Amino acid sequence: MLHEKSSLLSAFGILVLLTFMPIKVLAACPGDTQAEMNQCSANDYKSADKDLGAYYSKLEKTKELVAAERAWIAYRDAECAYQAKAVEGGSMAPMIYSSCLADLTKQRLKQLISDQKI
């Protein structure tokens, strides 16, 4: 009986997560297996991080920019760990974490580009 309740609660938790998970996470990395989706989201983050690094390398490194980047990285990592905590230990956790990293990194790149146009 306890195992049935636990399974039901786990299934309910996954259903709730999928309901609130951004559709773009699922659509951006289609795959036949969770491992394929995990790898795809990891590759998406690596690409976004590479783009951000290339753009950042061209900027003048003021002490304010360096401090902002350090703070942003701490925020990004903490936020994504928080988002992945909901599925901690599950096979979706790497996808949730990497997708969050990719999304926030892409947002940061857009922010830096926008700031330079001011």
Q: Is residue 5 included in any domain, yes or no? A: no
Written as tens digits, the pLDDT of the chain (118 aa) is 555 555 544 555 554 555 455 445 555 677 789 999 999 999 999 999 999 999 999 999 999 999 999 999 999 999 999 999 999 999 999 999 999 999 999 999 999 999 887 6
Q: Is residue 18 included in any domain, yes or no? A: no
Q: Is residue 2 included in any domain, yes or no? A: no
pLDDT given for residue 4 in this prediction: 55
Residue 107's domain comprises: 23-116
Whole-number Å distance between alpha carbons of 109 and 55: 8
Q: Is residue 14 included in any domain, yes or no? A: no
**CATH classification at residue 112:** 1.20.1270.180
Give the CA angle between residues 16, 18, 19 to the nearest 5°: 65
Report CA-CA distances (Å) from 60 to 3, 110, 112.
58, 17, 12
Q: Is residue 62 included in any domain, yes or no? A: yes
Total domains in the fold of the chain: 1
- Hey, what's the torsion of the CAs at 101, 103, 106, 107, to 10 degrees? -110
Q: Which of 72, 71, 93 is nearest to 82 (CA)?
A: 93
Q: Is residue 41 included in any domain, yes or no? A: yes
pLDDT tens digit sequence for 78-96: 999 999 999 999 999 999 9
pLDDT tens digit sequence for 51-65: 999 999 999 999 999
